[in-house]
Amino acid sequence: MTTDSVLDRAAQMTWRTLVVVAGVIVAVLALAKLRVLVLPVIVALLLATVLAPPVQWAHRHGVPRTLATWFFLLGSLGGLVWLLVSLAPSVVDEFGDLGPTLQEGITRIEAWLVEGPLQLSQEQIDRYTDQITEQVRGSGQSIVSGVVAGAVLAGEVVAGLILTFVLLFFFVKDGEKMCAFGLRQLRGEQQELARALGRRAWVSGGGYVRGTAVVAFVDAVGIGLGLWAIGVPLVLPLALLTFFAAFFPLVGAVAAGAVAALVALVSGGLSQALLVVGLVVLVQQVESNVLAPVVLARAVALHPVVILLALTGGAIIGGIIGAFLAVPVSAVVVAVTSELKARDIVGPGASSPGQPQDDSGPPEPEPGGKSDPPAADQGTPSGDGAEKPAELEPVVAGELNAAPAIADHGDPGAADRRAGEREPGDAQG
């Protein structure tokens, strides 16, 4: 391969990569602008992978599809509301009991700053406290701007929740009709590919949601029981936080564990906080090394670096909701790409658009020239003017007897002509 050909290939790969990167950037910016529309669609699709199987089961047993959809959708929503309402009184009571404990913990921290290795004076602590208070009072304009931005964000969240609910209802109720309509818009050879890609994405997304829910439930139960045994307050809220934090791989476990350790530090001191840290580490090790490989191995096969990059990109684009959706979307993309590679549409086995596959068969002989006969399929052609192929010399006696039969394949009159050719010779003999 010459230097010019290497440079040409490098140039082609470079501009193609730049085009792909530019397309990805444009798509990301468009998604960021349309996040109020895009995020509800993705959330509704992921939730539909969980609600669609029970609705289909009920429909197969004679329940109308609309009624089954309303039953499971409202039942799931009602269960979530009941859980939050039932937890609210206990959370309020425990937070009320935690107030004096929090003040005591702050007093302990101040005493440690004075009597500990830092050897700060009480005057320095008071001065730093006054500076923080003045900075908070002087940032009133920023606080007002933050409140306005928070109100706008709250409006977007409410609109997104309503849109998610409506989309979820129609995805579960009319999902099959939507898929059939989309497939009818494609040509016959494209329908099978689109159906396979959609099935792969659906299975991957549903497997991620269900598997993560199982892992999150086990984490919440394990950490909740451990916190109850240690004597940490706010057990139910911390267990619920652990459950939802499990949907943010790697980062969520650290955040939930840090909150639990902080509550333990405030309520029971350093020894209790260290016990909580050990509990969180133990539960996370069991989850990552035993439970997650069994439950999520077939749904999500992503490297930790890919997960961290996906979480960061999702948080930049869509905040908490973007980080929440980053990993399942990445898992779906990887599953679809694997399906395309298995079909040799992308990857090393794919043919270049400028180099179509050669299905024309063996080359034809040049005019006026000679070409060797094909190595295979050298039977005698039919027709009166066809030439007979050269007979191969048999090497064993069995092949000698079988050679005429092989040569006569496809020419029923060859045996009779050969008999007529041998008769004069036999008469002369």
Q: What is the pLDDT along the chain (429 residues), one digit of tens a residue?
A: 677 777 888 888 888 888 888 887 888 777 777 777 888 888 888 889 889 899 999 999 999 999 999 999 999 899 888 888 887 777 777 666 666 666 666 677 777 777 767 667 777 777 777 777 776 566 555 555 655 666 776 777 788 889 999 999 999 998 888 888 888 888 877 888 888 888 888 888 888 888 888 888 888 898 989 989 988 888 888 888 888 888 877 778 888 888 888 888 877 777 888 899 999 889 888 877 777 777 766 666 677 777 778 778 777 776 777 777 777 888 888 888 888 888 777 766 555 544 444 444 444 444 444 444 444 444 444 444 444 444 444 444 344 344 444 344 444 454 455 445 444 444 443
pLDDT on residue 67: 93
Measured CA to CA, the distance from residue 25 to residue 254 in angstroms comes to 30
CA 20 to chain centre: 20
CA distance 61 to 141: 61
Give the model's pLDDT for residue 129. Answer: 75
The DSSP output letter for 287 is I
Quick one: which of 252, 272, 253 has its CA closest to 263? 272
Instruction: Report angle CA 112, 118, 120 to the nearest 5 degrees.
Output: 80
* Whole-number pLDDT of residue 103: 67
List C-alpha distances in Å: 400 to 274, 404, 406: 91, 8, 10
Q: Are 207 and 100 in contact (CB under 8 A)?
A: no
Nearest to 208 by CA among 318, 77, 336, 297: 297
Nearest-CA neighbor of 240 among 102, 94, 98, 87?
Answer: 87
Picking from 307, 312, 254, 313, the residue whose alpha carbon sits closest to that of residue 284 is 254
Chain centroid offset of residue 337 CA: 10
Q: Which two tokens stand for residue 82?
A: 């009941």
Quick one: pLDDT at residue 400? Answer: 38
What are the helix (H) ranges across 287-360?
A: 292-296, 304-342
